[in-house]
Amino acid sequence: MRSFGSTLAVDNVSFQVYRGELFAFLGPNGAGKTTTINLLTGLLHPDRGEIRYRGERFNPDLLAVKQLIGVVPQHNNLDKELSVAENLRIHGILFGLRGRQLEERIRFCLEFADLLEKSATAAGKLSGGMKRKLVIARALLHQPKILFLDEPTVGLDPHSRRRMWAFLRRINVEQQCTVFLTTHYIEEAESLAQRVMIMDNAKIIAAGSPDELKSCGGDYVLDIYRGTDLDSEFFADRDAALRRLKQLDTVVRIRETTLEDVFLQLTGKRIAGGKGDV
C-alpha cells in the first residue's frame, strides 16, 4: 500500500508473478501501475505491506536482489551527451561488470538490440524507437532475471511498437527473463502477455490470462447503437448473441469479446489507444 499525501496510489495490491512469465499490468494512466513498479524495484518504499523475490523479503538495501532486476522506466533516462556504448558501460560498472566481461556484454546487448552500428553515436541523436531499445538493452546488460518495463511502447509509431513486441518476446524466450510490463494499450497486453492484471483507481480489479479474462463476461459482444449512444451486451456464445440481435431494430454489430470489453465491464471506463485517454 502506498499513498502520496491524501491520494492513495496503490491500495491493498497483492499478486504473484511466476518465473519465466510475461506478465502485463494493464490500466489507464493514473491507475497506479508506475507506483507499483516503483515499489517493486525499490524506488519507492511501501507505507504498508511487503515485496518478496524468490521468497525473500525485499528492501532497497538488499543489493543481491537489485542485481536480479532490470528496469526500463517510462521515460528514456539516458545520458544524451554520452554515446550508446558509454551509456551501457556506466550501467555495467554500476552493476559490477568490468573488463572483458563488460565489453562482451555491451557488444552482445548492442547486437541483440540492433544498435551495434550506433555504438559511438550520442544517445540524444537516436530515433525514439532506438532510444527505447537502448534503454531496454541497458536494463538487460547485467543479465537480470526479472525485467520491469513501464509503458515500453509509449510514444512509438505502430511499426516500431510491433517491432518492440517481437523484441520483448525474444527477451522473454531467448534471455529466459521474466518480463513484467505495464501498459495502457490493451492490444499490447493481449498480444504479449501470458497473464494480465487489470488495475484501476489504485486497486487490482481482475487477473488472469487474456482468454480467461475475455470469457469472464461472455465470448461474444453485441454493440448496439442507439443514436449517438453505444451499449454493449455480452453473450456466452454466438447463437445467444444472434437470438438477441433478432429482437433489436437498431444498428447492431456482433463480434468477439476483447480485453477492452472486459475493462469496460469492470470499470465503466474506456481505454483509448491514445496516450492518456481514459
Partner 1 sequence: MFNGVRGIYLRETLILRKKLVKTVLASAVSPALFLIAFGYGVGQGAQVNGHDYLLFLLPGLLTMSSMNQSYGIATEINISRFYFKVFEEYLLAPLKRWEIVVAEMFYGVTKGLIPVVIIGIYTLLCGVQLTFGVRFLVALLLHLAIFSLLGLITALLVRNHSDQALMNSFLITPMMFLSGTFFPVEKMPVVIRAVAALSPLTYSTRLIRSTLIGDMAVNNALFPLLAVMVVVLFIVAYRVVNRVQI
Given 49, 96, 128, 276, the residue binding partner 1 (CB under 8 A)? 96
| Residue with Cβ nearer partner 1 (91 or 195) | 91
Whichever of 135 and 189 has its CB closer to partner 1, that residue is: 135
Among the residue ranges 89-97, 126-134, 151-159, 251-259, the one whose residues contact partner 1 (CB under 8 A): 89-97
132 near partner 1, judged by CB under 8 A: no
Residue 160 engages partner 1 in binding (rule: CB under 8 A): no
| CB burial string 103-116: b at 16+ within 10 A, e below | eebbeebbebbebe
CA nearest neighbour of 165 among 20, 18, 24, 16? 24
Residue that has been written with the C-alpha cell 541483440 in this structure: 112
- The mark string for 27-46 relative to partner 1 (x by CB under 8 A, - otherwise) is -----------x--xxxxx-
Is 8 a binder of partner 1 (CB under 8 A)? no
- What is the secondary structure of the chain as a DSSP string? -EEETTEEEE-S------TT-EEEEE--TTSSHHHHHHHHTTSS--SS---EETTEEP-TT-HHHHHHEEEE-SS----TTSBHHHHHHHHHHHTT--HHHHHHHHHHHHHHTT-GGGTTSBGGGS-HHHHHHHHHHHHHTT--SEEEEESTTTT--HHHHHHHHHHHHHHHHHS--EEEEEES-HHHHHHH-SEEEEEETTEEEEEE-HHHHHHHH-SEEEEEEETTEEEEEEESSHHHHHHHHHT--SEEEEEE--HHHHHHHHHS----SSTT--
> CA quadruple 202, 204, 205, 209: dihedral positive or negative?
positive
90 counts as binding partner 1 under rule CB under 8 A: yes
Considering the complex, what minimum distance in angstroms separates the CB of residue 139 from partner 1?
9
Among 95, 108, 165, 234, binds partner 1 (CB under 8 A): 95
82 makes contact with partner 1 (CB under 8 A): yes
Taking CB under 8 A as the rule, does residue 49 contact partner 1?
A: no
The reply on whether position 53 binds partner 1 by CB under 8 A is no
For partner 1, the closer CB: 66 or 162: 66
If binding is defined by CB under 8 A, does position 242 make contact with partner 1?
A: no
Tell me how far, at minimum, the Cβ of 250 lies from partner 1, in Å. Answer: 50
Using rule CB under 8 A, residue 75 touches partner 1: yes
Closest approach, Cβ 36 to partner 1, in A, equals 13
Number of residues near partner 1 (by CB under 8 A): 29
Q: Looking at 14, 64, 158, 246, which residue binds partner 1 (CB under 8 A)?
A: 64
Nearer to partner 1, 41 or 267 (CB): 41
The answer to whether residue 120 forms part of the interface with partner 1 (CB under 8 A) is no
Question: Dihedral of CA 256/261/262/265: which sign?
Answer: negative
Q: Which residues bind partner 1 (CB under 8 A)?
A: 38, 41-45, 60, 63-64, 66-67, 69, 71, 73, 75, 77-82, 86, 89-91, 93-96
